[in-house]
Structure 1
Amino acid sequence: MKLDEMDRRILRVLQRAGRMSNADLSEEVNLSPSACHRRVQRLEESGMIRDYVALLDARKLGLSSTVFVEITLNTQADEVLEAFEKAVSRVPEVLECHLMAGTADYILKIVAESTEDFARIHRQYLTRLPGVAQMQSSFALRTVFKTTALPV
């Protein structure tokens, strides 16, 4: 799907305020409500807009620690990769898992209440992941910048 500038404006506004009414959105992007609604429907149907979510404040939920874990597997055989990916997707504290090029095979973004809570996650889940040869954990000291908005 080819995006024009109006589509991009709609996407930028919706990334910032996804619960905005169609009337408010159409006013913000300077488009009639019916035309705006049609464009949003088209963006949804094409999969460009994948979903609408509520972004929660991790600190207010008591999840003040962010840990990045680099994982190296003992082999990159397809069945090992698949088993690892299936198992790691079931760990509730893992927010992201990326297959990497470079020294580590995967990098995980994990939230925890504290270092003690991360030790529990490590013991209960990470050490039991299939195919893991090595792990290296790095604790974020402070989040300098964070966004979910894509540059459109």
Structure 2
Amino acid sequence: MLDDTDRRILRQYQADPDLKGQELAERAGVTAATLTRRLERLRASGILKGAQAVIDWQALGYAVEVSLRVTLDKSRPQAFEEFTAAARKVPEVVEIQTFLGQVDVRLSVIARDLGHYQQLYREKILALPHMTDVEALMHIARIKYDERLPL
């Protein structure tokens, strides 16, 4: 599916997404026309989904991150859909993951401080539907965070 040229382009693009066309083409060892054509093909095939702004929520005053492992009432046919729909409405929930197994959902929640987290937990998290159990894991440090793929 990907050839060596595609991989070189994607490696360079991941390394520095702010590079503009000509410089990216030079670093990837292709012409600007080839780069444009390849990027269009990668986007059309769904491999390259686009670019996004990454905002440092800690710089905005959010000092607390908590992972909540949630078990849902599986006897309710719409439990997953209703729970995730409600969780999406909580602005401080920055990530939702679903699993197969004892834990059904993991929420990543940010808060300004412990008092703010306690308020969020009591007023918004505990109000989410169909929860049978919730376990909070306080984040201490992020050891590795890298969305780059080994191409």
Task: Give me the TM-score of the superposition, normalised by structure 2.
Answer: 0.91
Q: Deviations over 1:91-148 (max 9, x none)?
A: 1111211111232111111222111121122123211111011111111111111122
Partner Cα distance (1:151, 1:108) in 2: 27
Q: Is 1:3 aligned with 2:13?
A: no
Q: Deviations over 1:19-78 (max 9, x none)?
A: 210111101111111101110111111111112111122221112221110001122544
Runs of 4+ in structure 1 over 4 Å off: none
Aligned AA (1:12): R
Q: Following superposition of structure 1 onto structure 2, how do residues 1-150 of structure 1 map, counting pairs within 5 Å? A: 2-75=1-74, 77-150=76-149
Q: SS at the partner of 2:101?
A: coil
1:93–1:12 distance in 2 versus 1, CA, 3 Å: farther
Gaps of 5+ in 1: none
Partner Cα distance (1:64, 1:117) in 2: 10
Task: Give me the TM-score of the superposition, normalised by structure 1.
Answer: 0.91
Q: CA RMSD in A?
A: 1.5
Higher alpha-carbon deviation: 14-23 or 38-47: 14-23
Partner Cα distance (1:63, 1:149) in 2: 25
1:140–1:4 distance in 2 versus 1, CA, 3 Å: same
Gaps of 5+ in 2: none
Aligned AA (1:122): Y
Q: SS at the partner of 1:128?
A: coil
* Count of residues in correspondence between the two structures: 151
Aligned AA (2:87): V
Partner Cα distance (1:115, 1:91) in 2: 17
Higher alpha-carbon deviation: 32-41 or 78-87: 78-87
